[in-house]
Amino acid sequence: MKGTAILVKEDQNMAFIENVEHSTFVEMKENSGDSNCNCKLDNKMVNYGKVSPVYWYEDEVDWDYGY
C-alpha cells in the first residue's frame, strides 16, 4: 500500500513525500524525534533531519485543490 508521508520539521516546515510504501512510513515514524530521520527512498538513503510528528495519508494529495 502506498500513500503520502507528511513530515513536520524542527523549523515547523512540512515535507510531503508521495508514493511512499507504508513500511517506509513506519520506519520514518520510528525515527521521528531523533536528531536524524533516515529512510530509504528509491534505493537511496535520505536524511530528513529532526522531524516530529509524522503523519500518513493513504492516497496522493490533490495539489490542484488549492493548498
Whether 32 and 47 have beta carbons less than 8 Å apart is answered as no
The structural domains of the chain, with segments of one domain joined by +, span: 2-60
Cell of 59: 492516497
Res 41 pLDDT > 90: no
Distance, in Å, from the CA atom of 11 to the CA atom of 4, rounded to the nearest integer, reads 20
Query: Mean pLDDT throughout 34-58?
Result: 89
Query: Mean pLDDT throughout 44-53?
Result: 90
Question: pTM of this prediction?
Answer: 0.81
Res 67 pLDDT > 60: no
Whether 50 and 33 have beta carbons less than 8 Å apart is answered as yes
Residue 66: per-residue pLDDT: 63
Cell of 31: 525515527
